[in-house]
Chains A and B, each alone.
Chain A
């Protein structure tokens, strides 16, 4: 019996997980959330920017991990468009341009933002390091044209923007090690301010940079998206998702506890 419990068929666990995700997706609930300091800092930084300032949004994730950064991107874009802060989109991931471009267009249309005046999407260039460094000297030396092929110097929003000196913040939405690269090369070399919105896997790695101020703010995964949505007072995908995630978390904690209880009883018996 105990043996069986300890080596439960994994497919049974799969079914449990599926059920616990499907039910709250069908019947959504809302639980109260509170906002942590790193997300608050990012929000405050953008909130205090005067209209007409420009931030850069780096979509440094692939379609595989879009679940967490996408709600963050939506929330920040809404915030910027409503505040009149301009946004330059860019990506270091080859499998990302279509998705990022589509997302920016969609949120812009919802908020009456105009391409070329309120936001642009530069697209992708191979070689993350060279792109980060090259834009520090001159954005046009890397992106002579935007994603659709319009020359950068013909875009009204880019008239007074040459390099990082005219950019108030870079927000890196990351699913890999891109944030470290932005910190080491754009912040250290060119003094560009960096903030990050990262997937769950890499949240813990970001904290040393947050304490030194190398990161202005941080959105930690689903939680970060939810917190930002709360600050904007506009619950979205993040909030819905995190509430659903509550149930899976409870299930997982239950499973770990059960597994360990079985393990201890087993070990006691063997002794």
Chain B
């Protein structure tokens, strides 16, 4: 079974690589099979790792507890499980996503979406403000505090000054309320230069990342697949 699996995996791998020559039926078959299998897998995972433990289990436990409660055999545990009954509200709102199936009632999905978007926005405001704005500004100033204390090497001093200049110029580049002329124009040009160096670094690293993907697949084909033949 394992060798069979390696063979299937290898053949599908080659089907996808055939795309490098040009689009062809093998590639299209593999691609669509992939879409089907992976969506199927996410449905399975979402049901077994999301819906059942988070919604179904507490609710059914609460139902059982309700039964014992009615029969008058309540224990402290059943009354705790009973609180699961309140989950009926979020579950009901979640079920509204199914309104997507009916064109006339589709607007109902706005309710769960609005809650999730309100959630994300509310939690983001104070935390992003602190993590990104305050912490990052603080991080820019700390080296200068050390510099005054005299506990820094020349390299680090140059680095801190560079970071300060680069940050300020980048901020100026992303400043839209003023025309970029004269000194502002010059500073924003320096900002662009810093941005380009940053993007260049990202590009260089991306090459490493993409090459890694290929090496991983080649390693599989050569060591695992050809390994089963030779």
Q: When A and B assemble into the complex, do they touch directly, with CB atoms less than 8 Å apart?
A: yes
Number of interface residues of A (CB under 8 A): 55
Structural contact, A145 and B120, CB atoms closer than 8 A: no
What is the minimal beta-carbon distance from B76 to any residue of chain A, in angstroms? 16
Name the interface residues of A91-131: CB closer than 8 Å to any CB of B. Answer: 94-95, 97, 123-126, 129-130
A/B pair count, beta carbons within 8 Å? 131
Inter-chain contacts of B222 with A (CB < 8 A): 22, 25-26
Bound CA–CA A15/B207 (angstroms): 17
Quick check: A200 and B205 within 8 Å, CB to CB? yes
- Give per-residue flags for A15-43: 1 if the beta carbon is below 8 A from chain B beta carbons, else 0: 00100011001100000000000000000
Q: A212-B138, A214-B135 are in contact. Are A241 and B215 (CB under 8 A)?
A: yes
Say whether B132 faces chain A, with CB atoms less than 8 Å apart. Answer: yes
What residues of B have a CB within 8 angstroms of the CB of A237 in the complex? 219
- B102-146, CB under 8 A of A: which get 1 and which 0? 000000000000000001100110011011100110110000000
Give the one of A95, A189, A204 with max B CB within 10 A. A204
Note all chain B residues with C-beta closer than 8 A to A245.
208, 211-212, 215
Contact of B211 among A133, A145, A249 (CB under 8 A): A249
A21 and B214 contacting across the interface, CB-CB below 8 Å: yes
Taking CB atoms, residues of chain B closer than 8 Å to A248 are 211, 214-215
In angstroms, Cα B94 to Cα A171, docked, is: 32
- B215 neighbours in A (Cβ, 8 Å): 21, 25, 67, 241, 244-245, 248
Q: Do residues B139 and A204 form an inter-chain contact, with CB atoms below 8 A?
A: no
CB-CB < 8 A to A258: which residues of B?
none
- Chain B residue numbers with a CB within 8 Å of A183 are 131
Given contacts A94-B45, A185-B127, A200-B205, contact A125 B54 (CB under 8 A): yes
Out of A65, A124, A249, name the residue touching B208 (CB < 8 Å). A249
A221 in contact with B45 (CB, 8 Å): no
B213 contact from A14, A25, A65, A94, Cβ within 8 A? A65
Pick from B46, B127, B218: contact of A184, CB below 8 A. B127
- Determine the chain B residues whose CB is within 8 A of the CB of A185 once the complex forms: 123, 127
Contact indicator A124/B202 (Cβ below 8 Å): no
**Does B21 have its Cβ within 8 Å of any Cβ on chain A?**
yes
Given contacts A11-B20, A129-B123, contact A201 B131 (CB under 8 A): no
List the B residue with the shortest CB-CB distance to A22.
B218
Q: B53 at the A/B interface (Cβ < 8 Å)?
A: yes
Cβ of B128 and Cβ of A199 under 8 Å apart? no
A200 and B20 in contact (CB under 8 A), knowing A22-B222, A184-B132, A245-B212?
A: no
A95 and B212: CB pair below 8 A? no
Chain B neighbourhood of A241, CB < 8 A: 212, 215-216, 219
Asked whether A252 is an interface residue with its Cβ less than 8 Å from the other chain, the reply is: yes
| In the complex, A222 has a CB within 8 A of chain B | yes
| 8 Å CB interface, A126-154 against B | 126, 129-130, 133, 143-145, 147
Asked if A221 and B212 sit within 8 Å, CB to CB, the answer is yes
In the complex, which residues of chain B have a beta carbon less than 8 angstroms from the beta carbon of A14? 20
What mask results when residues 152 to 185 of chain B are scored 1 for a CB within 8 Å of chain A, else 0?
0000000000010000000000000000000000
A97 contact set on B, CB distance < 8 A: 45, 49
* Further 18 A-B residue pairs, CB within 8 A, beyond A212-B138, A222-B208, A241-B212: A21-B215, A67-B213, A67-B215, A67-B216, A95-B41, A95-B45, A123-B49, A125-B50, A125-B53, A129-B123, A188-B130, A200-B207, A203-B202, A204-B205, A212-B135, A241-B215, A241-B216, A245-B211
Could you list which residues of chain B lie within 8 angstroms of chain A, going by C-beta atoms?
20-21, 38, 41-42, 45-46, 49-50, 53-54, 57, 119-120, 123-124, 127-128, 130-132, 135-136, 138-139, 163, 198, 201-202, 205-219, 222-223
23 contacts between A and B (CB under 8 A): A21-B211, A21-B214, A65-B213, A67-B212, A67-B213, A94-B41, A94-B42, A94-B49, A95-B42, A144-B57, A188-B135, A189-B127, A200-B206, A200-B209, A204-B198, A204-B205, A208-B136, A222-B212, A240-B219, A244-B215, A245-B211, A248-B211, A248-B214
Closest 7 pairs (CB-CB, A-B): A200-B209, A212-B139, A67-B216, A188-B131, A204-B202, A126-B50, A200-B208
